[in-house]
Chains A and B, each alone.
Chain A
Amino acid sequence: MSQLTVDSAATWKERLEGRVPPHLTEEIDIFETQIAQKRQGKIDDKVFAETRLRRGVYGQRYDNGQRHDGTASRALEYPCGDLTKGPNTVWDAPGMLRIKIPFGAMDAEQMEALADLAEEYSDGIAHVTTRQDIQLHFIHIDDTPDIMRRLAAVGITTREACGNSVRNVTACPLAGVCRDEPFDVSPYAHALTYFLLGHKDAQDFGRKFKIAFSGCEQHACGLANMHDLGAVAQVRSTGNGTRRTERGFRVYVGGGLGAVPHQAKVLREFVREDELLPLAQAVCRVFGRLGEKRNRARARVKFLVAKLGIEEFTRLVDEELAILPSDDRWTAYLDDLSITDEAPTRPPATLESGPRAEGFAEWLGSNVQRQRQSGYVAAAINLPLGDLTSAQLRALADTARRFNGGLVRNTVEQNILLRHISEADLPALYEELHAHGLGEPGASSLVDVTACPGTDTCKLGISSSRGLAGELRKRIATSIRTTGVLADEAVKDLRIKVSGCFNSCGQHHVADIGFYGVSRKSDGRTIPHFQVILGGQWTENAGSYGLAVVAVPAKRIPEAVERIAGLFVAEREKGESFQSFIARVGKARVRQLLDDLTKLPTYLEDRTLYSDWSDPREYTIGDLGVGECAGEVVTAVEFGLSAAEREVFQGLLELDRGATEAAAAKAYEAMLQAARALITTENIDIGTAPEEIVGEFRIRFYDTELFFDPYAGAKFANYLFRVHGDAETNSSEEAHRRIEEAQLFIEAAHACNQRISEIQAARVA
């Protein structure tokens, strides 16, 4: 055995002394002290929860110490006893650590550090997120200070990765090599990241704040439209009669997905590069000062912009700008815009013909794109569900070192991009990647399904987004291999995105075909479903958002995908995009196409529907033992909720034909119907007058908090109250939002109904 590493110490703090910047050492030491204080009961639960969140230390499913094992909900008896790390969050329960990777850029040393941490503290997997972060799961809170030290030693921070703070700043993964961009946005993303990190004006938000940079308007990579603050690169003439141009950005504000998506509004048509940081600071100040603090459901910037109107919001930002004390950092970084430059390490050369490994041609066609630097390409690594092992990460670090000096970028599609690859090196690169299972073709295509963590690890997950995404990947790959309908050229580049709940972390609103998890009751039990979302637009920086068409049982979603794709292949017109096709044939047609899939068999007829993908546990048992009387009431409620769903669908059709007023009216009516259906469980004589329904709903379901979502609280109930107070609208954006809200209100009514059934069942028992 040979002599190996001799670097040794009793603690990581000692081992890394001198390698972690002093300010980070201090920050992490403070966090370690806070952990000790919490253990001694010297910090309030809520305060500690926000403290750890701002350090990227997040909760994970079952951290309340309860887990349903398919037959009953059981207590997980952790050794820590009553010790908690936040309200209802058990100390010893495994958690998630979110690691900020600004604009997705990682070097080889960082990849190696992440690989080490994943295997020592997590489950051996590094997960690339839709915000270019890396997440590690099953982490114990006691380990987090050491993990942070080891990350800090390679220039990575988890600070403000979660919590009410400025989250990871994202940017096009092609920034700097893209043929469409006027200039590389990377140094600006870098500057804004570190300017706002820990900035005093960004510490008092009611919710998170997300920023994205994009190199161009037309492509999706930056998704600037769906962010709290989006910056799209522009150049313009200086106008002095010369040909000189200046760099700047079109700046958007108030976009966001979440339960009800909002398209961002233009805050400034053109902001010079030297004005960007102060503008962002002023926006943070306005958000910090006027953003909602108490009602989390309405605390994002999008609600503030909607409430004030973009003109007033702009005026307030201008007012702040006028009084901001000057800061050298606003422009200092402009002297060093090369800070994020990546110089190729291999000479440019064209790809000569010659013998190639099997699979190379397909991979080349789908995963490789030319850079604006002649002779170089960017090659995408298609990661299944955004996952890669420590061994793969280490191998990737080596490969990157060999072919481009060791640099990669994470993408918002949960892949990794190797840039500045000499074209001539592609066959060798492919062989290396392939040897480590990183040579899958189909990046950014139909098979490359994006999914949020869903019920695997997320506390809010309703359905298994990763389970479904994994199944879809398998089926699509098989269909392509066997030249089934999903192999057709027409569907090849469609995007599928899956979220485990309405919160939209899987970005389902901007997919061609999107899904979000919901549940439905049948036969006294609960069945996992997904809402099918159509009409979203990935291009033009997430140019428009899709809407729900119908909820289909989770296990039947692959069939639904095949049918929708089949319809498109069979009936599309020449050159017609999927989005235009859906607009032309109409959502009613798609709903009809999927109608039989929504019919639910009884438990005895087909049990498979009563569990989720990749999880054999029965989905729920809450209704077992429900008496006959309750059963009848439940049936009546379900009937009413189904009528509400029909109503909202009619609203969707009105919206499609441009009848915004009618669409909004249908959304309102749908909410009333859903509320009325619930009221019938307690007052069978409830009338149909809106005033009566809303009044009864308030007393029976709002004041009692029966309707409250366990996490979103009163959010969905407030949708009804708001629309009831102001039913009319002419704006198509508002009508669109109302349809979304009505769908979510109905989902909340379904969930409420389930809770009522469980309460009744418990009483009967």
Chain B
Amino acid sequence: MDMESAQVPDLDTLVKFDLKVLAADATEVEAEEFIPVFHRWITERLLPELLIDVADYSHVHDGPGVLLVGHDAIYAYDLSRGEPGLLYSRRHESGADLEGIGSLDDRLRSLLDCAYRACDLIEAEPQLNGRVAFDRHRLELRVNDRLFPADEKTALTLAGAFQRALVEAGVRDGDAAVEVKRIGEPRERLTLRTG
């Protein structure tokens, strides 16, 4: 195909992002312990979005752990790369709290809000008894859509927007530069990591 004439999708239209908040210390907790926790979140409607079911992949090596599957996003106590953390994987933007997102900056800010809200809930979760804490400075942001070029331009645009979102969320003060580096192999999804 003629690459010159090909349309490159606009990053402002990118919906499918993964954001992982790495656990500060998770040696005390087993992934299976999240099964009843996530079921309770569904029953008690602890999140302002449609939650559907829980999926258990704790048997898989360095896998997605235990998932809370919603319509707009999948939440997971994720074990990939051998680094436990809270994964928020956005798929759609239908919920009332996601209304009005129009730009990449808005979207990254809302990703942080959603992921941190889940982290807060887990840290306060009575069944886990304070055994999981998250390091809100150690984050992985991933473009979960290979239609978007995983090139330097995308990475730089994304890093800039991410930095602004982090500042806005109060994770960094305005002066400090956000160290964002790219991780993973070229064939993997574009992934930036902070901290």
A4 contacts B147, C-beta separation under 8 Å:
no
Q: Is B101 an interface residue (CB 8 A)?
A: no
Hey, which chain B residues are within 8 Å of A10, CB to CB?
Answer: 6-9, 147
Hey, which chain A residues are within 8 Å of B43, CB to CB?
Answer: 69-71
Hey, which chain B residues are within 8 Å of A384, CB to CB?
Answer: 59-60
Q: Mask for B18-44, Cβ within 8 A of A = 1, else 0? A: 000000000000001001100100110
Knowing A69-B42, A78-B71 are in contact, say whether A4-B186 is a contact too (CB < 8 A).
Answer: yes
Contacts A1-B152, A120-B144, A389-B63 known; list 6 others, CB within 8 Å.
Answer: A9-B147, A76-B50, A138-B55, A388-B60, A389-B61, A616-B36
Q: How far is the CA of A397 from the CA of B3 in the complex (A)?
A: 28
Q: Is B136 an interface residue (CB 8 A)?
A: no
- 15 CB < 8 A contacts A-B: A1-B152, A4-B151, A8-B3, A9-B7, A14-B6, A15-B6, A69-B39, A71-B43, A120-B144, A140-B91, A392-B62, A437-B60, A456-B55, A457-B55, A615-B35
Q: Is A385 an interface residue (CB 8 A)?
A: yes
Q: How far is the CA of A685 from the CA of B74 in the complex (A)?
A: 56
Hey, which chain B residues are within 8 Å of A661, CB to CB?
Answer: none
B152 contacts A4, C-beta separation under 8 Å:
yes
Knowing A437-B62, A470-B59 are in contact, say whether A76-B149 is a contact too (CB < 8 A).
Answer: no
A614 contacts B56, C-beta separation under 8 Å:
yes
Knowing A140-B91, A437-B62 are in contact, say whether A9-B55 is a contact too (CB < 8 A).
Answer: no
B63 contacts A15, C-beta separation under 8 Å:
no
Distance in Å from the Cβ of B91 to the closest Cβ of chain A? 7
A61 contacts B53, C-beta separation under 8 Å:
yes
Distance in Å from the Cβ of B44 to the closest Cβ of chain A? 9
Q: Mask for A408-439, Cβ within 8 A of B = 1, else 0? A: 00000000000000000000000000001110
B61 contacts A392, C-beta separation under 8 Å:
yes
Which of B61, B91, B145 has its CB near the most chain A CB atoms (within 10 A)? B61
Q: How far is the CA of A473 from the CA of B94 in the complex (A)?
A: 40
Interface positions of B from 125 to 155, Cβ below 8 Å from A: 144-152, 155
Q: Is B67 an interface residue (CB 8 A)?
A: yes
Q: Is A40 an interface residue (CB 8 A)?
A: no
Q: Is A239 an interface residue (CB 8 A)?
A: no
Interface size counted on chain A using CB atoms at 8 A: 60
Hey, which chain B residues are within 8 Å of A648, CB to CB?
Answer: none
8 shortest interchain CB distances as A-B pairs:
A437-B61, A10-B7, A79-B94, A616-B36, A8-B149, A384-B59, A69-B43, A9-B6
Q: How far is the CA of A387 from the CA of B81 in the complex (A)?
A: 17
Distance in Å from the Cβ of A145 to the closest Cβ of chain B? 14
> Which residue in B6, B59, B152 is a CB contact (below 8 Å) of A8?
B6
A77 contacts B50, C-beta separation under 8 Å:
yes
Hey, which chain B residues are within 8 Å of A94, CB to CB?
Answer: 52, 69
B57 contacts A387, C-beta separation under 8 Å:
yes
Interface positions of A from 586 to 637, Cβ below 8 Å from B: 614-617
A7 contacts B152, C-beta separation under 8 Å:
no
Q: Is B16 an interface residue (CB 8 A)?
A: yes
A138 contacts B74, C-beta separation under 8 Å:
yes
Knowing A1-B152, A71-B43, A123-B69 are in contact, say whether A15-B55 is a contact too (CB < 8 A).
Answer: no
A387 contacts B59, C-beta separation under 8 Å:
yes
Hey, which chain A residues are within 8 Å of B55, CB to CB?
Answer: 123, 137-138, 456-457
Which residue from chain A places its CB closest to the CB of B156 in the assembled complex? A1
Q: How far is the CA of A62 from the CA of B71 in the complex (A)?
A: 12
> Which residue in A78, A456, A473 is a CB contact (below 8 Å) of B50?
A78
Q: Is A2 an interface residue (CB 8 A)?
A: yes
Which of A8, A70, A387 has its CB near the most chain B CB atoms (within 10 A)? A8
> Which residue in A4, A123, A437, A438 is a CB contact (below 8 Å) of B150?
A4
Knowing A5-B149, A5-B150, A10-B9 are in contact, say whether A123-B144 is a contact too (CB < 8 A).
Answer: no
Hey, which chain B residues are within 8 Å of A93, CB to CB?
Answer: 52
Hey, which chain A residues are within 8 Å of B152, CB to CB?
Answer: 1-4
Consensus secondary structure, chain B interface: loop
B52 contacts A76, C-beta separation under 8 Å:
yes
Which residue from chain A places its CB closest to the CB of B13 in the assembled complex? A10
Which residue from chain A places its CB closest to the CB of B81 in the assembled complex? A391
Q: How far is the CA of A70 from the CA of B42 in the complex (A)?
A: 10
Interface positions of B from 148 to 189, Cβ below 8 Å from A: 148-152, 155-156, 181-182, 186-189
Q: Mask for A222-249, Cβ within 8 A of B = 1, else 0? A: 0000000000000000000000000000
B1 contacts A9, C-beta separation under 8 Å:
yes
Q: How far is the CA of A79 from the CA of B147 in the complex (A)?
A: 25
Distance in Å from the Cβ of B76 to the closest Cβ of chain A? 8
A391 contacts B62, C-beta separation under 8 Å:
yes
Hey, which chain B residues are within 8 Å of A116, CB to CB?
Answer: 146
Which residue from chain A places its CB closest to the CB of B180 in the assembled complex? A1
Q: How far is the CA of A140 from the CA of B92 in the complex (A)?
A: 10
Hey, which chain A residues are within 8 Å of B146, CB to CB?
Answer: 116, 120
Interface positions of B from 83 to 119, Cβ below 8 Å from A: 91-92, 94
Which residue from chain B places its CB closest to the CB of A469 in the assembled complex? B59
Q: Is A710 an interface residue (CB 8 A)?
A: no
Q: How far is the CA of A655 from the CA of B59 in the complex (A)?
A: 40
Q: Is A92 an interface residue (CB 8 A)?
A: yes
B53 contacts A62, C-beta separation under 8 Å:
yes
Q: How far is the CA of A473 from the CA of B188 in the complex (A)?
A: 31
A123 contacts B8, C-beta separation under 8 Å:
no
A7 contacts B62, C-beta separation under 8 Å:
no
Q: How far is the CA of A70 from the CA of B146 in the complex (A)?
A: 38
Q: How far is the CA of A66 from the CA of B63 in the complex (A)?
A: 29
Hey, which chain B residues are within 8 Å of A394, CB to CB?
Answer: 187-188
Hey, which chain A residues are within 8 Å of B59, CB to CB?
Answer: 384-385, 387, 470, 473
Which residue from chain A places its CB closest to the CB of B181 in the assembled complex? A1
Hey, which chain A residues are within 8 Å of B151, CB to CB?
Answer: 3-6
Q: Is A104 an interface residue (CB 8 A)?
A: no
Hey, which chain B residues are within 8 Å of A120, CB to CB?
Answer: 16, 144-146, 189
Which residue from chain A places its CB closest to the CB of B72 in the assembled complex? A79
Q: Is A17 an interface residue (CB 8 A)?
A: yes
A125 contacts B9, C-beta separation under 8 Å:
no
Q: How far is the CA of A457 from the CA of B67 in the complex (A)?
A: 13
B144 contacts A5, C-beta separation under 8 Å:
no
A389 contacts B16, C-beta separation under 8 Å:
no
Q: How far is the CA of A615 from the CA of B36 in the complex (A)?
A: 7
Q: Is A173 an interface residue (CB 8 A)?
A: no
Interface positions of A from 464 to 479, Cβ below 8 Å from B: 466-467, 470, 473
Hey, which chain B residues are within 8 Å of A79, CB to CB?
Answer: 50, 71, 92, 94
B60 contacts A6, C-beta separation under 8 Å:
no
Q: How far is the CA of A654 from the CA of B52 in the complex (A)?
A: 48
Hey, which chain A residues are within 8 Å of B6, CB to CB?
Answer: 8-10, 14-15
Q: How far is the CA of A467 from the CA of B32 in the complex (A)?
A: 11
Which of B7, B50, B63 has its CB near the most chain A CB atoms (within 10 A)? B63
> Which residue in B1, B7, B8, B189 is a CB contact (below 8 Å) of A17?
B1
Q: How far is the CA of A70 from the CA of B36 in the complex (A)?
A: 11
Q: How far is the CA of A409 from the CA of B145 in the complex (A)?
A: 28
B61 contacts A12, C-beta separation under 8 Å:
no
A123 contacts B61, C-beta separation under 8 Å:
no
